[in-house]
Amino acid sequence: MSLLGVERRLAAEGGAAAEGAVGVSSSGRQPSGGGEERKAVVRVVAADMAPALQRRAFRCARDELAAMPHFPRRLEPKRLALALKKEFDTAYGPAWHCIVGTSFGSYVTHARGGFLYFSVDKVYILLFRTAVEPSPH
């Protein structure tokens, strides 16, 4: 499945964030009642990944960005990349890789069904899985 230029806006349904939607206050944190709230925009640039896994990646990225004390003024890309990698390694097995930033180039080979390139506002995230083959002894 390849989704090029597909934009998914976050919309609250019953208090829970829908696929691709993120409720974030103007400080970058999730609102805790009152205060100005804006919707972060999640855009899928390209994907070869099941929708359920995509939603998990969106949710993990949202939660980690909301937990960053100085976001959006200061992004901690290594922290976000590590959180996504650990989440996917734990849930779906090893060999997940993650690149996070506002400007980067890449050319990667990925396992079938294990590729997602998306953005949350101006932060771009490349998450992909490679095949792990046992080394001959």
pLDDT bucket at 38, cuts 50 / 70 / 90 = low
DSSP annotation string for the chain = ----SEEEE--EETTEE-TTEEEEETTSSPP-SSS-EEEEEEEEEEEES-HHHHHHHHHHHHHHHHH-TTTTTS--HHHHHHHHHHHHHHHH-S-EEEEEESS--------TT-EEEEEETTEEEEEEE----PPP-
DSSP string, 32-65: -SSS-EEEEEEEEEEEES-HHHHHHHHHHHHHHH
For residues 93 and 35, give the distance between their C-alpha atoms in angstroms, rounded to a whole number: 40
Instruction: Provide the pLDDT confidence category of residue 40 given band limits of 50, 70 and 90.
Output: confident
CATH superfamily of 42-129: Protein Inhibitor Of Neuronal Nitric Oxide Synthase; (3.30.740.10)
Contact status, residue 24 vs residue 38, Cβ threshold 8 Å:
yes
Q: Is the pLDDT of residue 95 over 90?
A: yes
Mean of the per-residue pLDDT values for the chain? 78
Whether the pLDDT of residue 87 is over 50: the answer is: yes
pLDDT of 109 above 60: yes
Nearest to 128 by CA among 61, 49, 55: 49
Q: How confident is the model at residue 74 (pLDDT cuts 50, 70, 90)?
A: confident
Residues facing residue 115 across a β-bridge: 48, 128
Q: Which of 35-39, 51-55, 95-99 has the lowest mean pLDDT?
A: 35-39
